[in-house]
């Protein structure tokens, strides 16, 4: 499932984040790529232990925990601490698939990358190129969102970032391990949950709400990996 979540960060919050990102010390993004991915990766990243990465990453995690749309769509079990990249000067990331498992730094835990996410910190008119291109079941999807907007998509997707030929593209990226490993099952649960919420809003006393809610939780119980 590919889903856009608008306004995860407000314009003021984006401005403050950008100031911190622009002042940070960046490293070659190939340092965190696997052998094959490093051959097609040309960008800059913040080191995972950089103070800005840790502070802003914690803010993102807190915000995700307060965002019902993300929770309903991702059904998160664990979220890898967000990372940050910077594309400029024709920087790009060629076609690749994200690693299936990532360790959580400083812990013995690992995250299965069921869901990939990109949070934009640059507006589309600030740079040329830099589209996130995802090979989806329904064809190629080209994503270039306003600053503060988030997109989530299956971690199994082949994807790439087109060259940034002018300006600078700042973004955060991270992965979520879901309670439900199968993307189609997550989509079904999300659509069912959305229908329940709509019905509750329009007809709060409708007798079907409890029955549908029961179906939702029974499916979640059946499909959950925990």
Q: Tell me the per-residue pLDDT of 152-187, one tens digit each, with 9 for 90 and over.
A: 999 999 999 999 999 999 999 999 999 999 999 999
Q: Is 169 helix (H, G, I), strand (E, B) or coil?
A: strand
Q: What is the location of CATH 2.60.120.620 in the chain?
A: 3-178
CATH topology of domain 3-178: Jelly Rolls (2.60.120)
Counting every residue, how long is the chain? 226
Taking only the tens place, the pLDDT of each residue in 28-78 is 988 776 666 678 999 999 999 999 999 999 999 999 999 999 999 999 999
Q: What is the location of CATH 4.10.860 in the chain?
A: 183-223
The answer to whether the pTM exceeds 0.75 is yes
Q: Does domain 183-223 have CATH number 1.10.287?
A: no
């Amino acid at each position: 499932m590919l889903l856009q979540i608008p306004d995860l960060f407000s314009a003021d919050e984006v401005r403050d984040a950008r100031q911190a990102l622009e002042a940070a010390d960046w490293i070659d993004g190939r340092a965190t790529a696997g052998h094959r991915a490093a051959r097609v990766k040309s960008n800059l990243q913040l080191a995972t232990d950089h103070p800005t990465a840790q502070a802003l990453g914690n803010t993102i995690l807190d915000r995700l925990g307060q965002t019902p749309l993300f929770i309903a769509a991702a059904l998160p079990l664990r979220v890898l601490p967000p990372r940050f990249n910077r594309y400029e000067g024709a920087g790009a990331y060629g076609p690749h698939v994200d690693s299936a498992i990532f360790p959580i730094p400083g812990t013995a835990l690992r995250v299965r990358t069921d869901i990939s996410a990109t949070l934009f910190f640059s507006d589309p008119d600030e740079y040329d190129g830099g589209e996130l291109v995802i090979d989806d079941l329904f064809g190629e999807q080209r994503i270039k969102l306003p600053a503060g907007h988030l997109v989530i998509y299956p971690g199994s997707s082949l994807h790439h970032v087109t060259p940034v030929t002018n300006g600078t593209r700042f973004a955060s990226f991270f992965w979520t391990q879901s309670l439900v490993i199968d993307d189609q099952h997550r989509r079904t649960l999300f659509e069912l949950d959305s229908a329940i919420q709509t019905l509750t809003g329009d007809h709060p006393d409708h007798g079907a709400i409890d029955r549908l809610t029961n179906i939702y939780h029974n499916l979640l119980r059946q499909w959950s990996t925990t």
